Amino acid sequence: MGRWEPNARGRLEQAALELYVERGFERTTVAEIAERAGLTERTFFRHFADKREVLFGGSFLLQQHMVDGAAAAPQGATPLEAVGAALDAVGEVFRGRHAHARRRQAVIAANPELRERELIKMTTLSAALAETLRGRGLAEPAASLAAEAGIAVFHVAFGQWVAGDEEQDMRPLLRDALEQLRAVTGTG
- The residues of the shown chain that bind a second copy, judged by CB under 8 A, are 78-81, 83-84, 116, 119-120, 123, 138, 141-142, 144-146, 148-149, 152-153, 155-157, 160, 177-178, 180-188
CB of 41 or CB of 148, closer to a second copy: 148
Amino acid at site 180: Q
Cα 69 to chain centroid, rounded: 14
3-class DSSP state of 127: helix
What's the rounded Cα separation, in Å, for the pair 140 and 144? 6
CB of 168 vs a second copy, minimal distance in Å? 16
CB of 83 vs a second copy, minimal distance in Å? 8
CB of 101 or CB of 145, closer to a second copy: 145
CA angle 171, 123, 116 (to 5 degrees): 105
Amino acid at site 5: E
**Closest C-alpha to 85, from 65, 101, 58:** 65
Cα 126 to chain centroid, rounded: 12
CB of 92 or CB of 116, closer to a second copy: 116
CB of 147 vs a second copy, minimal distance in Å? 9
CB of 68 vs a second copy, minimal distance in Å? 19
CB of 7 or CB of 78, closer to a second copy: 78
